[in-house]
Structures are given as structure tokens and as C-alpha cells.
């Protein structure tokens, strides 16, 4: 039973470049969330997608964008890279999207991450 997979595992870019990170959720899971984890800190929420629609967005600039495909895999794009974008980018997979307000949050399972280094 495959878990969440991400590619590539490592990436080195220079300032101003663009990067695309990929994620495949656990089979049967339809929701994907992206997190940024800077060294020594907890993950920070970037986006959530469910059924190809954006369901949530964190406090990140418009240089960050994402999309989800019909097979529920997802891509995270970051344009005009800055040194501060260097981090571990984690994808989390869940069965359902959770609900807003005083609703429920579904259990999330993380992928191994993509380590992005911006020089």
C-alpha cells in the first residue's frame, strides 16, 4: 500500500527561477494540502485542494500557486524564487476535505517532502 509520494526529493535553484513540485496522494485520497517547513520550525500551511478546487490558502504571496489533477495528484509552483523560499515542502494527503467553521478536520498523512535550496 503506497503512501504519499513526492518528487523530486531534492532541488537546487537560483534566485529568480521557477520551480514545480509534485505530489501523489495515497490511493483513494482526494484531498491534498501543501506545507512549507523551514529548518527548525513546524510546517506552515500553503494550500489545500480537493476535487481540483482550492479549498484553503495560507498566508503566502501570489508567487505560490498550485493545482490538482483529475487523478488527485497535485503540483506546487513557486515563481521568482527568493533565498527565503529554501525549505522542505511537504504534501499531505487525506480522504476528505474536512469542513469549515466548527466542522471536522480529516487525518492527514505526509509525504517525504522535497528539499528546495535557493542559492
Partner 1 sequence: GENVEQHPSTLSVQEGDSAVIKCTYSDSASNYFPWYKQELGKRPQLIIDIRSNVGEKKDQRIAVTLNKTAKHFSLHITETQPEDSAVYFCAANPTGGGNKLTFGTGTQLKVEL
Of the pair 14, 47, the CB lying nearest partner 1 is at 47
**Cβ(81)–Cβ(17) under 8 Å?**
yes
Measure the CA–CA gap between 89 and 91, rounded to whole angstroms: 7
- Residues near partner 1, by CB under 8 A: 4, 31, 33, 40-45, 48, 50, 55-56, 58, 90, 92, 94, 97-113
User: Shortest distance, CB of residue 46 to partner 1, whole angstroms?
Assistant: 10
Positive or negative, the CA dihedral 41, 104, 113, 77 is negative
93: cell is: 494527503
Smallest gap from residue 33 Cβ to partner 1 (A): 6
CB of 83 to partner 1, least distance (A): 22
The residue among 9 and 80 lying less far from partner 1, judged by its C-beta, is 9
3-state SS, residue 39: coil
- φ/ψ of 68, rounded to 5, equals -125, 140
55 versus 80: smaller Cβ distance to partner 1: 55
Nearer to partner 1, 20 or 112 (CB): 112
Amino acid at each position: 500500500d503506497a503512501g504519499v509520494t513526492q518528487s523530486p526529493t531534492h532541488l537546487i535553484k537560483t534566485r529568480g527561477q521557477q520551480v514545480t513540485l509534485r505530489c501523489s496522494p495515497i490511493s483513494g485520497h482526494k484531498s491534498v494540502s501543501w506545507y512549507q517547513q523551514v529548518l527548525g520550525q513546524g510546517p506552515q500551511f500553503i494550500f489545500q485542494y480537493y476535487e481540483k478546487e482550492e479549498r484553503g490558502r495560507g498566508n503566502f504571496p501570489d508567487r505560490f500557486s498550485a493545482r490538482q489533477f483529475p487523478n488527485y495528484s497535485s503540483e506546487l509552483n513557486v515563481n521568482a524564487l527568493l533565498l527565503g523560499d529554501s525549505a522542505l515542502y511537504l504534501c499531505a494527503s487525506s480522504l476528505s476535505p474536512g469542513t469549515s467553521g466548527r466542522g471536522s478536520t480529516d487525518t492527514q498523512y505526509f509525504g517525504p517532502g522535497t528539499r528546495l535550496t535557493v542559492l
